[in-house]
Structure 1
Amino acid sequence: MKTVSVPTKEQVSPENQVLFENLTKSIGRVPNLFAVYAHSKNALGTYLALANAKTSLRAKEKEVVNLIVSQVNGCEYCLAAHTAIAKSHGFTDEQILEIRRGSISFDVKFDALVKLAKSIAENKGHADQQLIDNFYAVGYDEGSLIDVVIVVGDKTITNYVYALTGVPIDFPAAPSI
Structure 2
Amino acid sequence: MSTFNVPTRDQVSENNQAIFDTLKGKLGFVPNLYATYAYSDTALENYLTFSGAKTSLSAKEKEVVNLAVSQVNDCIYCLSAHTAIGKMNGFSDDQILEFRGGYSTSDTKLNALAKLAKNITETRGKTDADTVEAFFNAGYDKGNLIDVISLVGDKTISNYIHSTTQIPVDFPVAQPLEAQTV
TM value normalised by structure 1: 0.98
Would you say how many aligned residue pairs link Structure 1 and Structure 2? 177
| Aligned-pair identity (%) | 55
Query: Quick one: distance in 2 between partners of 1:8 and 1:155?
Result: 23
Residues 72-99 of structure 1: per-residue CA shift (max 9 Å, x gap): 0000000000000000000000110111
Query: Which residue of structure 1 aligns with residue 45 of structure 2?
Result: 45
Query: Which residue of structure 1 aligns with residue 174 of structure 2?
Result: 174
SS at match of 1:41: coil
**CA distance 1:172–1:55, shift in 2 (3 Å):** same
**CA distance 1:95–1:2, shift in 2 (3 Å):** farther
The Cα shift of 1:175 comes to 2.0
Q: In the alignment, residue 168 of structure 1 is paired with which amino acid?
A: P
Query: Which residue of structure 2 aligns with residue 11 of structure 1?
Result: 11
Structure with more relative contact order (C-alpha pairs < 8 Å, separation 6 or more): 1
Query: Quick one: distance in 2 between partners of 1:151 and 1:129?
Result: 19
- For structure 1, the residue ranges without an aligned partner over 5 or more in a row are none
Query: Which residue of structure 2 aligns with residue 80 of structure 1?
Result: 80
**CA distance 1:132–1:101, shift in 2 (3 Å):** same
2:11 corresponds to 1:21: no
- For structure 2, the residue ranges without an aligned partner over 5 or more in a row are 178-182
Query: Which residue of structure 1 aligns with residue 135 of structure 2?
Result: 135
Paired residues of 1:6 and 1:32 also in contact (CA < 8 A): yes
Query: Which residue of structure 1 aligns with residue 93 of structure 2?
Result: 93
- Following TM superposition, the consecutive aligned residue runs of length 4 or more in structure 1 with deviations greater than 2 angstroms are none
Query: Quick one: distance in 2 between partners of 1:39 and 1:102?
Result: 32
The Cα shift of 1:138 comes to 1.1
Query: Quick one: distance in 2 between partners of 1:3 and 1:149?
Result: 32
Q: In the alignment, residue 96 of structure 2 is paired with which amino acid?
A: I
Query: Which residue of structure 1 aligns with residue 117 of structure 2?
Result: 117
Paired residues of 1:98 and 1:104 also in contact (CA < 8 A): yes
TM value normalised by structure 2: 0.95
2:144 corresponds to 1:144: yes
SS at match of 2:156: helix
Query: Quick one: distance in 1 between partners of 2:5 and 2:43?
Result: 15
Query: Quick one: distance in 2 between partners of 1:15 and 1:92?
Result: 38
